[in-house]
Amino acid sequence: MKYVIIILTGLTLLVASACQGIEDIIPSNEGDQMKGFLSSDIERELAPDVGPSRLQSLASDNTAFALAFYDLIRSEEGNLVYSPFSLSLALSMTLAGAETTTRDAMLDALQFSLEEGEIHPTLNALMLAIEASQAIDEGSEGGSFELSIANSIWGQQGFNFKQAFLDRIALNYGAGIYTVNFAASPELARVAINDWVEDETQEKIKDLIPPDTITQLTRLVLANAIYFKGSWFHPFDQGLTQPGPFTTLGGDEIRVDMMKLFDEHLLYLQEGELQVISLPYLSRDFVMTLIVPDHGSFTTVEDRLTVELLETLMNKMVSERINLEMPKFDFETTINANDALKTLEMAEAFDPDLSDFKGMADVEDLHISDVLQKATITVDEEGTEAAAATAVIVGIKSAPIGEPISLVIDRPFLFFIQHQPTGTILFMGRVVQP
């Protein structure tokens, strides 16, 4: 499940995989905390006029952002998982209210090559395309596949949000604004949103918004959520899983639970100092692709990771008979994205004296104070469950016949969960110590 929260101490953004009745989130007996709902008369466009070339262009831009952002956070030690799509969606909804040089800086940081007016309808088309790709292939036995994307916004009661902003969010993201009283009860709002996130992520993401993050100056929370839980098309036999060696990035050999899959046709490539393999889910529009460098080559391959390299590797993969051994893994990552986004030339959006979010409301000093993401991933014999929560906090100042190929993943590797028809990366990261 993936959640994005953008808080603008003036503004917070939250994404939920399913819509829950607002009365279940903040009961009516909580006094003035919940006051109503602001919405546009415009409904979400369910058939946006977006051609395939524009869709592919946006997906490629999202990949460029994903890899550029990864390059700036990979210096952190250990395993890493994050959701670039969650981050892109959260920041794009914030972009809908940015103007002048702040808008231009955000366009550059997000690597967008489309005109700003094209981005929101194309993102809408991309979300719709991903949501539509959930059919389970015939012939599959057991297992399940779940994916949902939804958007919601929480805004300060009495705050004068511009109608053009409401219209743009409604048309392209299907969201209105639930009005709450951050000014009077910021802690109540924080707890309520955290409870909602925990419920919608099936308790995978807890305490997303830390104490004192939502304050009396918070004005808006935009929420975007993706929930992903997919069974493998070729599940691993649990009875074959047993401890095996894994060499960490530091060269230490540890024992981990290794899953085994025998003689299955999988997309595979061996090129130079790395091997690549794709594992399809029951909805075969979605795959987990693993890039496995040779022993001692992980950092070299990580240094070379670009959009061009990734596309080249994907395009050269062919179906082969594979015997596969790989580790189970289950971990969580928390990221503060501030420095990375500033390095990507988005510093102006963090500066209360320079930022311009007057597309949302006529307030001079709305600015981003923090961008946080918490993500989890679990990979086992049955499939994958992934969850991510992003908080952008904005405040106001005050194969041929033959023997199967054997691939034993006993060393650090990169992973990508992708929507194949568009190439969109939903989650990515690395495993250096399962």
158's CB contacts (< 8 A; 6+ apart) are 179
For residue 138, what pLDDT is reported? Answer: 56
Same domain (yes/no): 129, 8: yes
Q: Which amino acid is at 2?
A: K
432: its two tokens: 């250096």
Same domain (yes/no): 143, 274: no
CATH number, position 342 = 3.30.497.10
Same domain (yes/no): 151, 190: yes
Same domain (yes/no): 193, 88: yes
The predicted-structure confidence for 315-348, as pLDDT tens digits, reads as follows 999 999 999 999 999 999 888 888 999 999 999 9
Query: Where in the sequence is the domain holding 264, given as residue range(s)?
Result: 238-328+400-431
Residue count (the chain) = 434
For residue 370, what pLDDT is reported? Answer: 76
Same domain (yes/no): 123, 49: yes
For residue 31, what pLDDT is reported? Answer: 40
The Cα–Cα gap between 198 and 192 comes to: 10
The predicted-structure confidence for 170-197, as pLDDT tens digits, reads as follows 999 887 777 778 888 988 887 777 777 7
Same domain (yes/no): 40, 129: yes
Give whole-number Cα distances, 342 to 108, 170, 189, 220, 349, in Å.
11, 29, 29, 22, 9
Same domain (yes/no): 125, 201: yes
pTM: 0.88
Q: Which amino acid is at 181?
A: N
Same domain (yes/no): 252, 113: no
Same domain (yes/no): 409, 365: no
CATH number, position 406 = 2.30.39.10
Q: Is 405 exposed, middle or buried (0-12, 13-18, 19+ CB in 10 A)?
A: middle
Q: Which amino acid is at 220?
A: L
For residue 127, what pLDDT is reported? Answer: 92
Same domain (yes/no): 171, 305: no
Same domain (yes/no): 111, 254: no
- What is the number of structural domains in the chain? 2
For residue 220, what pLDDT is reported? Answer: 77
Question: In the chain, which residues have pLDDT < 70?
Answer: 1-36, 39, 137-142, 150, 202, 223-224, 389-402
- What number of other Cβ atoms are within 10 A of residue 264's Cβ? 18
Same domain (yes/no): 357, 252: no
For residue 113, what pLDDT is reported? Answer: 95
- What number of other Cβ atoms are within 10 A of residue 137's Cβ? 13
Q: Which amino acid is at 354?
A: L
